[in-house]
Amino acid sequence: MVRSILILGLLLSTTKVWANGMGWSMYPLLTDKKMLSAEIVGDFTAGGGAGFQARYTQRISSKSTVDGGLGYSSGERAGRIFAGFDYELFPDYAKQPRLSTKFVFQNAKEYLERVTRVSAAPMVSKGFNFWGHEGFPYLSIPLGVNLNSASSTYGFFSQMNLGITGKVPWQDYENLLMQFETQWNFTNSYSGVFIGLSFPLN
């Protein structure tokens, strides 16, 4: 299965890409917990479009979570492949929010030029009770570099991501997680929305 995902990812990486969202890494997964999620995405920037992406997420230690995925959308940034590593600095405990840093790598073509995007994102999240259901709102500000191999140039980018994750509030489906995330362009990035549903694998 992993080999199939890598092959499909390499094929998609020859097309076009836009940002992939921050994902599920701030949700309090148990160690070795694995999830596969399906996400509807929308790019509101010029040349954007709508589509979907799949994401694999795994908690590999008490402080570390990895994820990776691929997707396809209509518009000028159609395909994407990405991988991320989230490291927890402080846990969500009592009145203290969870603080972490997420590192993301992304490779694609944008407007017919290959771009590699590398970023680091400080993240803060906190669990709250919403009408009897626990949810985890989060804020992240990714900062990074776009590397253009065709023109041998680079440029800095920044954005803000706001979202919330939590269990589905319907009986008989509490093992599923839902996510809603918005992304706001600051510099040389994109604005969009991500709506996801995650399925546990173990």
Whole-number average pLDDT of the chain = 83
pLDDT at 109 over 90: no
Q: Which of 90, 159, 158 is nearest to 125 (CA)?
A: 90
For the stretch 36-66, pLDDT in tens is: 999 998 877 766 678 888 999 999 999 999 9
Q: Output phi, psi for 30, to 5 deg.
A: -75, 155
Could you give the number of structural domains in the chain?
A: 1
Half-sphere exposure of 183 (CA within 13 A, CB side): 26
- Percentages (nearest 5) of helix, strand, coil residues in the chain: 5, 60, 35
Q: Output phi, psi for 154, to 5 deg.
A: -140, 160
Half-sphere exposure of 116 (CA within 13 A, CB side): 8
Mean pLDDT of 179-195: 91
pLDDT at 11 over 60: no
* Per-residue confidence (pLDDT) for residue 164, from 0 to 100: 96
pLDDT at 14 over 80: no
- Measured CA to CA, the distance from residue 133 to residue 135 in angstroms comes to 6
Mean pLDDT of 195-201: 92
* Per-residue confidence (pLDDT) for residue 125, from 0 to 100: 96
Residue with tokens 């040389």: 188
Q: Which amino acid is at 12?
A: L
> Which percentage of the chain shows pLDDT scores above 70?
84
* Per-residue confidence (pLDDT) for residue 4, from 0 to 100: 39
Tell me the CATH number at 177: 2.40.160
The Cα-based distances of 26 to 9, 76, 120 in angstroms read 24, 30, 15
What dihedral angle (degrees, nearest 10) is formed by the CA atoms of 39, 148, 110, 191? 50
* Per-residue confidence (pLDDT) for residue 9, from 0 to 100: 38
Range of the domain at 150: 2-200
Q: Which of 47, 55, 61, 72 is nearest to 21 (CA)?
A: 55
> Which percentage of the chain shows pLDDT scores above 90?
49
